[in-house]
Structure 1
Amino acid sequence: MKVHLQVDGAPEAVAGHARAIQACGADGLFTFEGQHDVFLPLVVAAGQGSLELMTNVAIAGPRSPLHLAHSAWDLQVYSGGRFRLGLGSQIRPHIEKRYGASWGRPAARMAETVRAIKAIFAAWEGHARLDFRGDYFTHTLMPPNFNPGPNPFGPPPVLMGALGPVMTRTAAEVADGLLVMPFNSDRHFAQRTVPAMAAGLQRSGRGLAEFSVIAQVMVAMGDTPDEQAAATAAVSGLIAFYGSTPAYLPVLQEEGWADLQPELNRLSKTGDVAAMRALIEPAMVDRIGVAGTPAECAAEIVRRFGGYATEVCCYFPGYRPTAAQLTALTTALHEAR
C-alpha cells in the first residue's frame, strides 16, 4: 500500500519537511487547505525529491475550473508528472462565511467542475475545441496565446474527496479517483461508501481497476502506552471537531453515537474545545481513526481499507510522530499483504 503524508504548508517549513517525509520512505506528500495555500507549497516540495504530490484537497467551489486547470497543469510540468489534483466541496458555512462564495447543489457543482477541467485539459492537449457549457460554468474561448499546449507528462489525474453517498457516487462517476473522508469508520465505509462508489462506477461504465481509491486515516500512534494515550488525546480533538458538523452525522449514526452530535455542535458554537474533546472516548478514536503501535496501525488500515484502496493518506492531528515511527508505519504498510 502506498503511503502519503501531509507536508507542513508554512512557507519556511515546506522544504525541510518534504525532505523528512521522503527520508521516512513515504511515496508521496499532500497539502491541506487550512492555514496556508494549498498549491504553493507543492511548488517548493516538487524540488526537494521524487515524491508524488497531491492537493488534499483544494476547495473547488470558490475557484474557477480554469484557475484549477492552470495550477494543476503547471504543477504537473514542474514536478515531472508527479502531481494529482484533489478537489473537495467543503460545507456551506465555510463556503459562504469563510470563502465569501455562493453555495448550492454541491455534488452537481463538483461534477461540473471536474468535467469542465477535463474539457480544458482536452483542449490544451489538442483533442477537442473548447466548448463546455454547463449550469455553473461556460468555457468556450481559448485563443492560442492563452493555451499552454500539450502537457509533456499528460494531464494530471483529478480526484474528489467525499463522505456522503451522493458525493461519493458523483466522484466515482466523473473523477479519476476517490479520496475517502478521514472521518470514517469500518462500518460506515462498508455500509455507505462502498455501495455508493459501486453505483457511480456503474454509471461511468468503469470498474475498480480504472479508478483510484485512496483511504484517509487519522492515526494515533506510539511505541509505548503513554505515547499512545497522548496521541489518542490529540486525535480526539479533530474527531470532536468533525463530529460537531451536522453533515458528518451519518458516521456517528453508523457507530451508535448519533446522540453525541448535537452536544458537540452546541459546544462548538461556544468555543469550548476542551469540553468537546472530553466527550470523545478512546473507543471512538479506535473506530473512527486507528490507534496503536506503528505495526498495529498499519495492520488495521490494511484490514479496513485494503480490499479497495491501494494508497493511504495518514494524518497525525495535534501531535507529530518521530521519524522512526513514521518509517516503521510506512515500512509496515509497504509490506502488508
Structure 2
Amino acid sequence: MKLGYHIGYWSSGPPEGALEAITTAERLGFDSVWTAEGYGSDALTPLAWWGSATERVTLGTNIVQMSARTPTATAMAALTLDHLSGGRFVLGLGASGPQVVEGWYGQPYPKPLARTREYVDIVRQVVAREAPVVHAGAQYQLPLRGGTGLGKPLKSTVHPLRSRIPIHLAAEGPKNVALSAEICDGWLPLFFSPKSDAFYRAALEEGFAARADDMPGGREDFEVAASVPVIVHDDVEQAAAMIKPSLALYIGGMGAKEVNFHHDVFARMGYADVADTVQDLYLAGRKDEATAAIPTSLVEDTALIGPPAKIRDELQAWEETVVTTLLVRGDAATLRRVADVLG
C-alpha cells in the first residue's frame, strides 16, 4: 500500500510548513501529494506553487469542485499542470454538496451524477485533442444552444503532454462510487472503513461491469486513494480526541439536515443513532456535546491511532481492502513518524 500526503484546504490562511512537509514527503518516498478546495483557497494554485519544488511525486487535486469551473476550464488547468509537472498530474474531481454548490457558486445542484458524467466526457475530449470539442448534453452544451449562434466547436491550442490524464472521482454514495469505476481511473473516498469494504467493493464492481470495452484501464489499474487520519500516540483516547471535533463537523455540520452525505456514510457503517445525535447537537449549536457524543470506536473504524504496535496490527485490515493509497496529513515531523510506523 502506497502513502500519499494530503495538504487539504486552508483554514484562515496557508498551512504553516506546507512546503517543508511536501518536500519531506517526497524524500520519505511518499507516492503522491494532494490539495483541496472548499470555499476559500483553491486546489490548483497551491499544487502548482508548492509542487514546483518536487521532482518525483504525483501531484493531485482532492478535490477540484466541478461547479467552480466549466469542464473546459478544468481541462485547461489539467493540460497546463500536466506540462509543468512533466506528466505527474492527476485530476481529482468532486460534485461537493448543495450547500456549497448553490450557496457559494450559485450553480444548480440537482442530478450530480448526470452532471459528473457529462463533465468528465468533456474534459476527456479536451485532453485527447482528437477533434474540436462537441457536447450536446442536458447539463452542458458545446457550442452553447440558444446563444448568439456564433459559437463554434474549438480544439485546444495547447497540445497535451499526455493524451489521457488520470481522473479520480470523490464519492461517498454507492451510485457515485460505481460511476468512478465506470468512467474514471480512480476513486477518492472519505471516511473509508475496512468494515465497509464489501459494500464499496460491490459498488465498484457494478461500475467496472458498465465500463466501456474500449476504455483504457480497469480493475488492475484502478487507484483508490483514501484520506485516513494516522496519529501515533501512546494514549488512544487522547489520539481520538484530536480527530473527534473534525468528525463532529462533517457528520453534524457539513450540509443540511436533509442532505449530508458524510452523515450517511457513518449511518451505513452502523452508527446511525450516533450520527443522528451528533447532527442534532451540532445543528443546535452544541458543538462540544456533539464532539463528546462520538465514540472512540467510530474513530478507530476510520483512522489509525494509538501506539505503533497497535497501528501496525490494524494496518493489515486496510491492506486487505480496495484501498491502494493511504493519504495522511500533518507537518513534516508527523510525516516522518508516520513513515517510520507504516513504512
Question: One fold, TM greater than 0.5?
Answer: yes
CA contact (8 A) 2:21 2:335 kept: no
Q: 2:23 aligns with which of 19, 26, 29?
A: 19
Displacement of 1:95? 1.4
Instruction: Give the CA deviation at 1:60.
Output: 0.9
Return the alpha-carbon distance in structure 2 between the equivalents of residues 298 and 89 of structure 1: 34
Q: Show CA shifts across 1:129-187 (max 9, x none).
A: 3222211112344546x5212x2244321110111111111111111111122x23222
**What residue is the counterpart of 1:113 in the other structure?**
119
SS at match of 2:288: helix
CA distance 1:136–1:299, change in 2 (3 Å): farther
Cα 1:190–1:250 change in 2 (3 A) is farther
The percentage of aligned residue pairs carrying the same residue is: 25
SS at 1:53 equivalent: strand
- The equivalent of 1:288 in structure 2 is 302
Aligned ranges 1:10-49 → 2 under 5 Å: 10=14, 13-34=17-38, 35-49=40-54
Can you give the 5+ residue segments of structure 2 that lack an aligned partner in the other structure? 144-151, 255-259
Which secondary structure state, in structure 1, belongs to the residue aligned with residue 228 of structure 2?
strand
Hey, what does 1:99 align to over in structure 2? 105
User: 3-state SS of the aligned residue for 2:67?
Assistant: coil
Deviation by residue 1:97-136 (Cα, 9 ceiling, x = unmatched): 233322111111111111111011122xxx2332222111
Between the aligned partners of 2:269 and 2:134, the Cα distance in structure 1 is 46
Question: Is 202-211 or 90-99 further displaced after alignment?
Answer: 202-211
Alignment of 1:45-60 (within 5 A): 45-50=50-55, 51-60=57-66
The one-letter code of the counterpart of 1:304 is: W
TM-score using structure 2 length: 0.84
1:334 maps to what in 2? none
Aligned partners of 2:261 and 2:23: how far apart in 1?
Answer: 36
Q: So what's the TM-score if we normalise by structure 1?
A: 0.85
Partners of 1:62 and 1:25 in 2: how far apart?
33
Partner of 1:132: 135
Task: Evaluate the alpha carbon distance shift between residue 91 and residue 305 of structure 1 in structure 2; reply closer, same or farther with a 3 A threshold.
Answer: farther
State the SS of the aligned residue for 2:225. Answer: strand
* CA apart distance, 1:65: 0.3
Residues 1-337 of structure 1 aligned to structure 2 (within 5 Å): 1-7=1-7, 10=14, 13-34=17-38, 35-50=40-55, 51-123=57-129, 127-140=130-143, 141-143=152-154, 147-149=157-159, 151-181=160-190, 183-191=191-199, 193-204=200-211, 205=213, 207-219=218-230, 221-225=231-235, 228-244=236-252, 246-294=260-308, 296-315=310-329, 322-331=334-343
Alpha-carbon distance, 1:327 to partner:
2.6
Give the CA deviation at 1:288: 2.5
Structure 1 68/157 Cα, relative in aligned 2: closer, same or farther at 3 Å? Answer: same
Q: CA deviation at 1:12?
A: 7.1
CA contact (8 A) 1:24 1:326 kept: no
CA deviation digits over 1:68-92, x for unaligned, max 9? 1011111111011111000111111
Please give the alpha-carbon distance, in whole angstroms, between the structure 2 residues aligned to 1:99 and 1:274: 30
User: Matched residue of 1:309: which SS?
Assistant: coil
Q: Any gaps of 5 or more consecutive residues in structure 1?
A: 332-337
- Provide the aligned length of Structure 1 versus Structure 2: 319
Three-state SS of the structure 2 residue aligned to 1:259 is helix
- Paired amino acid for 1:2: K
1:224 counterpart SS class: coil
2:223 partner letter: S
Secondary structure at 1:208's aligned position in 2? coil
Partners of 1:253 and 1:46 in 2: CA distance: 37
How far 1:189 moved relative to its partner? 2.8
Residues 215-240 of structure 1, C-alpha deviations (whole Å, 9 max, x = no match): 33222x22422xx4333111111222
Distance 1:75 1:295, change over 3 A: farther
The change in CA–CA distance for 1:298 and 1:179 in structure 2 (over 3 A counts) is farther
Q: In 2, Cα distance between the equivalents of 1:278 and 1:243? A: 13
Which letter does structure 1 place at the counterpart of 2:234?
A: T
Equivalent residue for 2:149? none
Cα displacement (A) at 1:305: 4.7
